[in-house]
Structure 1
Amino acid sequence: MTTPESPEIEHGEPRGDRAHFLQVFLSQRSQMEALVSRRVGCRATAADLVQDLFVRFWRRPLVQVEELSTYLLRCAGNIAIDHLRSEGTRVRANEGLMAEPAHCMGGEPQAALEAGNDLRHVEAALRALPERTRQIFLLNRIHGRKYAEIAKAMGLSQSAVEKHMMRALEACKASLRECEPRMPGKAL
């Protein structure tokens, strides 16, 4: 019988499981970094995110999955999406802190309410987009990547990136048209 102090057990798990995890992780690392890099548009950020993923797994008990390499790739894709979401939130928060809109300074709460409503409509429209279209939009509008950079990172033609951006922008415009019937100064 082995005890938690015995050399065969580490973190409450057999050392063989940790060794297997480490072997699979290292063999998949370059694929995970490539996947994350394509999504976030930065190799250094991708390397950091994959390292964070490793630390998360290493600190907690290992999950028993049928195909660890596939599971790790899926987790890498998810961590890239989480990163893009948090970056978008941070950028919006920073823009909100830096900019003092004239309609908010003038004490017009109705204008601020309408702007918030418009923003919710646009965010809903973006969430409804196909994932690739949404990623391209975020890389361009949030991360400031040029169409050529996005095309190269995602393995697409620049024309395809432009088409995805047109779809995303049209969805945003359509979402604003849906809430447009109200005219300033007129009751609803």
Structure 2
Amino acid sequence: MSDRPSLRSSWLAHYAELISTWTRRYGNRHDAEDATHDAIANMLEQQSAVITNPRAFLHRSVHNGLVSLNRRAHRQAHVAWQDLSDEEHPLDHSHEQELQGAHLRRALQNALKELPLKSQQVFAWHRLEGYTLPEIARKMNLSQSMVEKHMARALDHLHKRLSDFQLPE
């Protein structure tokens, strides 16, 4: 019980640093705040655990929280074009739509070329070929964590580079 006061004060010393660091790295202040608050709450709830380095513990916890948020946000069902029903295929192929599609394809190709080769491979194998992340990890002789980082890097980069193509909500 004597560690509780020190834990309570130690998180406060790192609060501003955590928010600033993870907002800068992740690019979303609200998610960084949510992950930071969750990490602090988890640390304070761990009565029996001895945390020797609260700063490192909190940074790792915030990072893990942001990875989880990112996974939940990007978890979508992907269906190959040829597997769509006739009703789901676009019926009107106007000249303007064809130009927009060609522009999007070029932008996607250029954005992919900007990524490191391993990130390109992970994205292509996962999103285009349908391999699972554990399968890709085995193929590339990498840890699954590293494959997840490459995928997150690719998705984040593509999201930023192709934001002009998003449909209005």
TM-score normalised by length of structure 2: 0.52
How big is the shift at 1:117? 8.5
Unpaired segments ≥5 residues, structure 1: 1-13, 107-114, 148-188
8 Å Cα contact 2:36-2:58 kept in structure 1: no
Unpaired segments ≥5 residues, structure 2: 87-125, 163-169
| Distance of 1:134 and 1:105 partners within structure 2 | 28
How big is the shift at 1:76? 1.8
Instruction: State the structure with more CA Rg.
Output: 1
Structure 1 residues 62 and 73, CA gap change in structure 2 (3 angstroms): farther
Q: Aligned pair 1:44/2:30, yes or no?
A: yes
8 Å Cα contact 1:33-1:50 kept in structure 2: yes
Equivalent of residue 71 in structure 1, options 57, 76, 80: 57
Structure 1 residues 58 and 67, CA gap change in structure 2 (3 angstroms): closer
| Distance of 2:61 and 2:19 partners within structure 1 | 12
Structure 1 residues 21 and 120, CA gap change in structure 2 (3 angstroms): same
Structure 1 residues 81 and 100, CA gap change in structure 2 (3 angstroms): closer
How big is the shift at 1:105? 2.7
| Distance of 1:47 and 1:103 partners within structure 2 | 40
Q: Which residue of 1 aligns with 2:7?
A: 21
Instruction: Please provide the CA RMSD for this pair.
Output: 3.6
Q: Which residue of 1 aligns with 2:114?
A: none
Q: Which residue of 2 aligns with 1:103?
A: 83
Structure 1 residues 116 and 53, CA gap change in structure 2 (3 angstroms): closer
| Distance of 1:118 and 1:80 partners within structure 2 | 27
8 Å Cα contact 2:19-2:32 kept in structure 1: yes
Aligned length: 116
| Distance of 1:45 and 1:118 partners within structure 2 | 31
Match of 2:21, as an amino acid?
L
Structure 1 residues 64 and 145, CA gap change in structure 2 (3 angstroms): same
Structure 1 residues 105 and 86, CA gap change in structure 2 (3 angstroms): same
TM-score normalised by length of structure 1: 0.48
8 Å Cα contact 2:18-2:36 kept in structure 1: yes
Q: Which residue of 1 aligns with 2:66?
A: 80
How big is the shift at 1:43? 0.9
8 Å Cα contact 2:31-2:66 kept in structure 1: no
Q: Which residue of 1 aligns with 2:131?
A: 120
Structure 1 residues 117 and 75, CA gap change in structure 2 (3 angstroms): same
